[in-house]
Amino acid sequence: MIQESDDVIVKAVARLLVPFIVVYALYVVMHGHYSPGGGFQGGVILAASFVLLGVSHGLEKTRRRMSEKAARVVSSIGVLLYGGIGALCLILGGNYLDYAKLGKILRVTPAEARSLGILGVEIGVALAVMAVMCTVFFAIFTAEESPEDYRSVE
Amino acid sequence: MTQFFVIIGVGMCVLVLLCLYRATFGPTILNRAAGISAIGTKTLIILLLMGVIYDRIDMFIDISMVYALLNFIGTVVLAKYLERSGEV
Amino acid sequence: MEVTLLLESTDNAFRVMERAREHAVGLLDTAVQFTAEQTRFRQEKRGQLLFTGTQKRKTQFQNIVGTTIILLAFWMLLSGKFDAFHLTLGVICCALTAYLFHDLLFANVRVGDMRVIAARFIAYIPWLIEQIILANIHVASLVLRRKMPIDPQIVKFKTKLETDISCVTLANSITLTPGTITMDIKDGVFYVHALSQKVANELNAGDMEDRVAHIFMEADHLYVEDVLDAARIYQTLRT
């Protein structure tokens, strides 16, 4: 269990930095098809922001924003988004993740449909990666708790 | 002008080697942590120089920002781990 | 004989009754007082709760809006695309982030003087860069000499800065200038590693601290105190 850090510098810098890191990660996800990055990288940066918050402000305050339960739900939602878009293309008569077929539902040209489909898939990947990374972080940093504590968290 | 940046980049690589010496043979773990942190900072500058040389500075700025971020978070987490395990 | 006994007993009975009545009146009084106090206390507390609740909600809303604006500026700086689709994405992302992290960016900030602080901070940066260049030259001259006349030492001084953000600004300024590294801040005491005596002396002069205090508006009352402290001025005049 990580306690809140008593260091003024780390705490204040983390406090100021975390919102910007989150916005930067979302920028990496949303602009994945123009600049370097994409779903996986953006998800890792998102998870890094939570790791920074957990290390500097203690695990309790991090759990208030992203608990283990929420991480599990969010990772499932991410995978569902990814698989759902792929399966939707399959239902509409194309191959798996054949985004051009999405144009029929969204009423846009196939090129725009490809762009939007890739964006949706990347958001799904980012959510899944972020949640799984958070789960790994929580699992590592709560490993030395006694089993009773862990059960109460569950 | 490109040659100028290449020369600066090579000089940075030499400095990275010096830091790598400290990170490899550092007597204590704090020396290693400081050496790794310095290597990260220098890698960031080398990335930006590469961006200038290849004329794609807008892309390399994104990469270098991620690098700086992960370097900072890695150092903080390492410090926290050392503090908790009581090795320092 | 019997008459006097009777009289005495009736007297006693009357006295007991009188005392009982007094007791009852006292009890009733305290009960009334207690309930009145209770209701007053409860009303006050409810008013306070209402007030703080609205205050909290208001500051929370202000924080969310302020954070969104700052993050949106950052997003535009990163993105560089100003078509409707990307701007909408940016607004959604920034609002979501601000909703999740509204209490981080504006903790411990006195609302109202943000603009002055920002202007003073921007004015502080050129001075800091000049200081960094001077210290760079000093440290390079120290290190490149054959004898390397360094004198490493740890300087400990008590700061007059109050908020965490001003302490962090001072600590990072000290670390940015070559030759000095902030090691720790504990209860307002800075532990700074200095490379040479000259750097340590500059640190002890407290010029940087005064400037940081000026940025975050903590200097105004402290300067007056310093002027009123006549003994210190006398001492500096004598030495």
- The Cβ-side half-sphere exposure at A144, using a 13 Å CA radius, reads 6
Most distant CA pair in chain B, distance: 50
Domain membership flag for residue A15 = yes
A52-88: per-residue pLDDT in tens?
A: 998 888 888 888 888 889 999 999 999 999 999 888 8
Could you give the CA distance from residue C169 to residue C154 in angstroms, rounded to a whole number? 20
Q: Nearest chain B residue to A5 by CA: give it.
A: B80
Residue A100 is classified by DSSP as G
DSSP assignment of B11-76 equals HHHHHHHHHHHHHHH-SSHHHHHHHHHHHHHHHHHHHHHHHHHHT-HHHHHHHHHHHHHHHHHHHH
Specify the range with the lowest mean pLDDT, choosing from A10-14, A30-34, B68-72, C218-222. Answer: C218-222
pLDDT at residue number B16? 95
Q: Chain B partners of A2 at a C-beta cutoff of 8 Å?
A: 80, 84
What would the two tokens of residue C223 be?
């300067």
Shortest CA gap A71–chain B (Å): 21
pLDDT at residue number A24? 93
C184 bridge partner residues: C191
| B81: contact with A, CB 8 A cutoff | no
A10–B76 C-beta distance less than 8 A: yes
Q: Using 50, 70 and 90 to split pLDDT, how confident is the model at B53? A: very high
Task: Write out the residue range of the structural domain in which residue A26 sits.
Answer: 8-153
pLDDT at residue number C133? 94
pLDDT at residue number C50? 63
Shortest CA gap B27–chain A (Å): 26
Q: How far is CA A107 from CA A48, A92, A99, C68, in A?
A: 37, 13, 13, 32
Are A121 and A81 in contact, with CB atoms under 8 Å apart? yes
A10-23: per-residue pLDDT in tens?
A: 888 888 899 999 99
How many helices and strands, by DSSP H and E, does chain C display?
9, 3
Residue A49 has pLDDT above 60, yes or no: yes
Shortest CA gap A19–chain C (Å): 6
Could you give the CA distance from residue C44 to residue B56 in angstroms, rounded to a whole number? 64
Q: Which residues of chain C have pLDDT under 50?
A: 221-229
User: What is the count of structural domains for chain A?
Assistant: 1
Q: Nearest chain A residue to B75 by CA: give it.
A: A52
Mean pLDDT for chain A overall? 84
B69–A45 C-beta distance less than 8 A: yes
Could you give the CA distance from residue C182 to residue A67 in angstroms, rounded to a whole number? 35
pLDDT at residue number B85? 75
Domain membership flag for residue A2 = no
Q: Give the length of chain B.
A: 88
- Greater confidence (C6 vs B4) lies with B4
Domain membership flag for residue A112 = yes
DSSP assignment of C128-194 equals HHHHHHHHHHHHHHHHHSSS-----EEEEEE----SHHHHHHHHHHHHHSTTEEEEEEETTEEEEEE
Could you give the CA distance from residue A65 to residue C100 in angstroms, rounded to a whole number? 7
Q: Nearest chain B residue to A7 by CA: give it.
A: B80
Task: Write out the residue range of the structural domain in which residue B13 sits.
Answer: 2-85
| A19: contact with C, CB 8 A cutoff | yes
Q: Tell which of A23, A56, A63, A134 to mutate to test the C interface (max C CBs under 10 Å).
A: A23
User: What is the count of structural domains for chain B?
Assistant: 1
The dihedral formed by the CA atoms of A45, A46, A49 and A50, expressed in degrees to the nearest 10: -130
Burial of residue A18 (number of CB atoms within 10 Å: 0-12, 13-18, 19+):
buried
Which range of A91-105, A120-134, C164-178 scores highest in mean pLDDT? It is A120-134
Q: Chain A partners of C81 at a C-beta cutoff of 8 Å?
A: 31, 34
Specify the range with the lowest mean pLDDT, choosing from A8-12, A33-37, A123-127, C112-116. Answer: C112-116
pLDDT at residue number C234? 55
Q: How far is CA C56 from CA C48, C59, C60, in A?
A: 12, 5, 6
Residue A42 has pLDDT above 50, yes or no: yes
Are C182 and C190 in contact, with CB atoms under 8 Å apart? yes
ipTM of the prediction greater than 0.95, yes or no? no
pLDDT at residue number A78? 93
Residue A131 has pLDDT above 70, yes or no: yes
B18-35: per-residue pLDDT in tens?
A: 999 999 997 888 899 999
C192 bridge partner residues: C155, C182
pLDDT at residue number C222? 45
Residue in A10, A36, A56 nearest the CB of B63: A36
pLDDT at residue number B3? 92
Q: Nearest chain C residue to A17 by CA: give it.
A: C105
B70–A5 C-beta distance less than 8 A: no
| C97: contact with A, CB 8 A cutoff | yes
B5 bridge partner residues: none
Residue A30 has pLDDT above 70, yes or no: yes
Domain membership flag for residue A3 = no
| A26: contact with C, CB 8 A cutoff | yes
pLDDT at residue number A96? 85
Domain membership flag for residue A13 = yes
DSSP assignment of C13-34 equals HHHHHHHHHHHHHHHHHHHHHH
Could you give the CA distance from residue A154 to residue A143 in angstroms, rounded to a whole number? 13
C141-164: per-residue pLDDT in tens?
A: 988 988 888 888 888 888 888 778
Q: Chain B partners of A5 at a C-beta cutoff of 8 Å?
A: 80
